[in-house]
Amino acid sequence: MRPQLMLSFYIFLTALFAALLAVPALRRWALGTGSLDLPDEERKVHSQATPRLGGVAIFLAFLFAMLMFKEFNLQVRALMAGGLIIFVTGLADDLVGLSPGRKFAGQILACLVTMTVGDLYLSNLGDLFGFGEIVLPLWLAIPFTVFAVVGMINAVNLIDGLDGLAGGVTVIALATFFVLDLHAGSGECMILCAALLGGVLGFLKYNVYPARIFMGDVGSLLVGFLLGFLAIQLTQNPGQSISPMVPVLVLGVPIIDTVWVMTQRMLCGGSPFVADRTHLHHKFLDLGVQHRFTVLIIYGLSLFGAVCALQLHEQPEYLLLAGYLAVSGLFYLALRFVLRHRDRFPLLQRDSQAGLKQTAAYRRMQDLADLAVNGLKALVGLLLLLAVLAGGRASTQEAIFALAVVGSGAVLVWLTRDPGNHFFHGFLYLAGLVLIVLLEQAGGHRIVGELDVARAGLILYGLMAPLVVVKIIFKRPQEIYLSTPFDFLILAMSLSLVIVSPEVTLAYNLPWIVGKAVLLFLALKIVAISARSYANQVCGAMLAALVIVVVRGLG
């Protein structure tokens, strides 16, 4: 399973960075062409026109990652073929608009293509009622599979009503499917989950409240389609031991919301497909709960279902079904009671639309966190002094590499003094990594008494870590530490170094070295970004320290 886990990791990173790069480009294109989702007071909660083509980035990232690393078997080809049909259907709806009948026709066609090519059917329903397993014949499994997947597609589409809501629920579901397949499956579903998870997370960065882009129908239809067939693949493939009820628990929130809303619409004599404000998130908004907290509540409900699925996946299907229906029924009865007697729950009315960062307490913490910059300057200075005084002996190859880093750093100082420059950040990371490697070689060198270089460095890193964490949490709006694709690329490269080979990892203690390099990089970046003069000081100090350490090491 380790090769599959490694492959999943690289596929996830590829999809993540592809989405992080694609979403801003699609957003600019949508703003330029007017492909926007306009506000609608009757059923939509956003107040300004917003691009809605984020789903295109999800699909492209998912497809690119799979094409880069995975040879497609028949089932994956079937999913790709059906996904392409869904993608075209959703894109046409977002750009020109489609009638409900045409959208359903596209969804059904995609399901039939995937089922026919990949031989993916929902036929074994498990022991739902305690009288033995229910196994559907092929003539019944085909329409039932279409019904289930089309239902899942529209469940995700209908819950996509608040910023970050559908994306977050999808992330929870995909992560749960990944863990289930990791422990009980063949690994095929794992890889697909990793690719889609990377694409959705990359999109979600730009979709959290206040959203800069929506996934649109192209995203919600595609995600629902893939979730539906991933659930089938997870439970129906030969050798799988996952109960068919487990994905229902994982996706319980969008499923029960869709069933509840459509049932109410039909009981009231209306069409089940006419949009309104009767969804779960609308009920929380009607209670006075604001946008952010409503999304967090539904995340919590989805996470509760995912945890139950992971803990109870070996229980009989009839117990899982009974528990799911009982808990869902009690929850909706309680919610209905609160809606009718909202005056008895004044606490719900106190939720504010203002974000946490606008509170006085948060601003006070920002002022205190600014003091961490001075602390980090002192700790970084002590670490550089420690490296200069006790740098280890460098080999010829290490010296050449260190001098190359020094040379590139000198060029950067001459070319740019912008603390936000990505190449400058790359220099800080490389210089810190080289310095740490050279310092590791002098770990046993005594400084004072029993205090050696390794122990002194550990103390400095231990003091540095909480200051870095506090400053990142309570950063100011203009301060960007872990927000650009380049930052995530550095973290991904660091993780790749750690897991590249068990032998290399053990021989060089890579997790420890890379962890300290990332911590030092963040500390240097925090100091450098705080002021342009600090950026020059940091760069100059790193260059001087490297030169001295290399010269002393070669001596």
Dist. CA 383–CA 449, nearest whole Å: 19
Please report, for residues 21, 200, 251, 304, 391, the alpha-carbon distance to residue 173 in angstroms, rounded to integers and kept in the order given. 24, 12, 6, 11, 49
Residues recorded for the chain: 555
**Token couple for 128:** 């739902």
Please report, for residues 122, 292, 369, 427, the alpha-carbon distance to residue 422 in angstroms, rounded to integers and kept in the order given. 49, 32, 24, 9
Q: Hey, what long-range contacts does 398-403 have (CB within 8 A, 24 or more apart)?
A: 398/434, 398/437, 398/438, 398/553, 399/550, 399/553, 399/554, 401/434, 402/434, 402/438, 402/546, 402/549, 402/550, 403/550
Dist. CA 505–CA 489, nearest whole Å: 20
CB 109 within 8 A of CB 118: no
Task: Return the closest-CA partner of residue 225 out of 74, 73, 98, 62.
Answer: 62
Dist. CA 92–CA 31, nearest whole Å: 18
DSSP designation for 187: S
Surface-to-core class of residue 112, CB atoms within 10 Å of its CB (0-12 exposed, 13-18 middle, 19+ buried): middle
- For the annotated binding site for Mg(2+), the residues are 157, 217
| CB proximity list for 232: less than 8 A, separation 6 or greater | 120, 121, 122, 145, 148, 149
Q: Domains of the chain: which residue ranges? A: 2-123+133-350, 357-554
The 10s digit of each residue's pLDDT in 227-273 is 999 999 888 877 677 888 999 999 988 888 888 888 777 777 666 66
Surface-to-core class of residue 211, CB atoms within 10 Å of its CB (0-12 exposed, 13-18 middle, 19+ buried): buried
Dist. CA 198–CA 196, nearest whole Å: 5
Bridge partner list, 135: 124
Whole-structure pTM value: 0.76
| CB proximity list for 55: less than 8 A, separation 6 or greater | 87, 90, 94, 203, 215, 216, 217, 218, 219, 220, 221, 222, 223
The 10s digit of each residue's pLDDT in 377-389 is 888 888 888 877 7
Give, for all 555 residues of the chain, the pLDDT tens digit. 556 777 888 888 888 888 888 888 888 887 777 666 665 555 555 456 678 788 899 999 999 888 887 777 888 888 999 999 999 998 888 888 788 888 889 999 999 999 998 888 888 888 888 777 888 888 898 999 999 999 999 888 888 878 888 889 999 999 999 988 888 766 778 889 999 999 999 898 888 877 788 888 888 899 999 999 999 988 887 767 788 899 999 998 888 888 888 877 777 766 666 666 777 777 777 777 777 788 888 899 999 999 998 888 888 888 988 989 998 889 888 888 877 777 766 665 555 555 556 666 677 887 888 888 888 888 888 888 887 777 655 555 556 666 676 666 666 665 665 666 666 777 777 777 777 777 776 656 666 666 677 788 788 888 888 888 888 878 776 666 665 656 666 666 666 665 555 455 544 566 677 778 888 888 888 887 776 667 777 777 877 777 777 776 655
Bridge partner list, 36: 51
pLDDT computed for residue 259 by the predictor = 83
Bridge partner list, 124: 135
Dist. CA 28–CA 276, nearest whole Å: 30
CB 438 within 8 A of CB 394: yes
3-class SS at 37? Answer: strand
Dist. CA 172–CA 288, nearest whole Å: 26
Helix (H), strand (E) counts: the chain: 21, 6
- For the annotated binding site, the residues are 157, 217
> CA geometry: angle at 527 spanning 525 and 529, to 5°?
65
